[in-house]
Amino acid sequence: MNNKIGERIRRERELAGLNQKELSKKAGITNYQTLLKMERGERRITIKDISAIAKALNLTADYFICTNERPSYPVLWKGMKSRKECRVFENKLTKYTDRYFHLNDILGIKVNAFHPLSSREFSEKYSPYLDSERINLISKLAEDFIRDFNLGDYPADSLMNAITEKGIIVFSFKMYDAGLAACYVSNRGASILLNKEENPWSIYCNICHEIYHILTWGISDFKMHDYSLNTDDIEEKFADEFAARLLIPETTIRREMNKLESTEDFDDLLLSSLAVKFKVPTDMLLERIESLKLVERKRIAKMRDLKTKSMVWKDLIKDCLTTTNLQTDEEYGMSYIMLAYSAWKKGKLTKMKMAEYLNKNVGELDYFLEKRGLADEQHQ
């Protein structure tokens, strides 16, 4: 048994780009030779050892102890700067995703998990668009997504709730410059990872960008890119275009432009009211307007010179983005917290296990729950 656990420790350490000294330090093991002996199966591995190593790698202790191999599903990265650092965030993303579905399972909640179409299913559904220009397929995908998810005229307003109900869950970590965003598709469903260090006005754009990759998972060969895409990759440009068409529907932007054309200070109003209304960066808004030929190019150029971008988002950040739980200190949304809390209240999780699921120490859990209006009553 020790040999199998030791082999898994070595494999995960190498995948995370850590040497034995680095992992020993992260796990609080005083001598890296101790870790070396664990990996070789030459030393007894305690539960305490496994827990410390699992925490250092953002994995669960169960993964190392379980006799069955964990199915491996790749994580697709946008703007990866460090595979070593991203591997640890991948582990955390897959851990939270698995726990989200596990919490629903033990609570008896049926989740409408989202699974992208297979290559065959995708080809059958979108065959008329596959032989034409890719932009036609992108437009159709955006239209279908707005309709199927009931997103309405201003998709960003209901996007988070809609995708969560369909089984696409969103987490956000402080990843610094390790990577910009990522998406993960497994047999349970799909999830999206955002970087808290990114500009807040890019939140919805990044979510929709990753949604495109999830939708096209069955027809795209990400393996050849080692599941890491750069800004210049054609699939990234397609994903950005999908995000623009999804967040700024053509019929809606045309109607809004007609309302504003007769008003004074049209250019300022365009950058402020419309950017806030659609919850998109001004650059994306202007590119969408330009592509639809709603404003002359000279006027677009003039509007790009306006220095109001940061002012535009002041009220939006305060009133709108914080409600997504993506601009808070937590790595998960309130729906995830409520699942863990409900499982504990119903006796499905111990308080210690709930703390583990919420990535908290037991000692800080009462304060954490109280701040969110969840009274920590004596558990029956």
Each residue's pLDDT tens digit in the chain (380 positions)?
567 888 888 888 887 778 889 899 888 988 888 988 888 888 888 888 888 888 888 888 877 877 666 667 889 999 888 888 888 898 889 989 989 999 999 999 988 789 999 999 999 999 999 888 899 999 999 999 999 999 999 999 999 989 988 889 999 999 988 889 999 998 888 999 999 888 777 889 999 999 999 999 988 888 877 888 888 889 999 999 999 999 999 999 999 888 876 665 666 666 677 888 898 888 898 899 999 998 888 777 777 776 455 455 555 555 555 445 554 568 888 889 999 999 999 999 999 999 989 989 889 999 999 988 886 554 44
Task: Give the residue from 26, 82, 32, 28 showing the smallest Cα distance to 58.
Answer: 26
Sign of CA dihedral 178, 179, 180, 184: negative
Task: Give the residue from 244, 236, 222 showing the smallest Cα distance to 145.
Answer: 244
Task: Give the residue from 171, 154, 150 showing the smallest Cα distance to 162.
Answer: 150
For 212, other C-beta atoms within 10 Å of its C-beta total: 25
Tokens linked to 127: 């065959």
Sign of CA dihedral 144, 145, 149, 154: negative
Secondary structure of residue 193 in the 3-state scheme: strand
Please give the span between the terminal C-alpha atoms of the chain, in angstroms, as a whole number. Answer: 37
Contact call for residues 193 and 171 (beta carbons, < 8 A): yes
Tell which CATH architecture fits domain 1-70.
Answer: Orthogonal Bundle (1.10)
Sign of CA dihedral 154, 157, 159, 162: negative
Q: Which residue has the tokens 């623009």?
A: 244
181-185 and 75-78 beta bridge pairing: antiparallel
Domain range annotation of the chain? 1-70, 73-230+331-380, 250-312
* Predicted TM-score (pTM) of this structure: 0.83
Contact call for residues 94 and 184 (beta carbons, < 8 A): yes
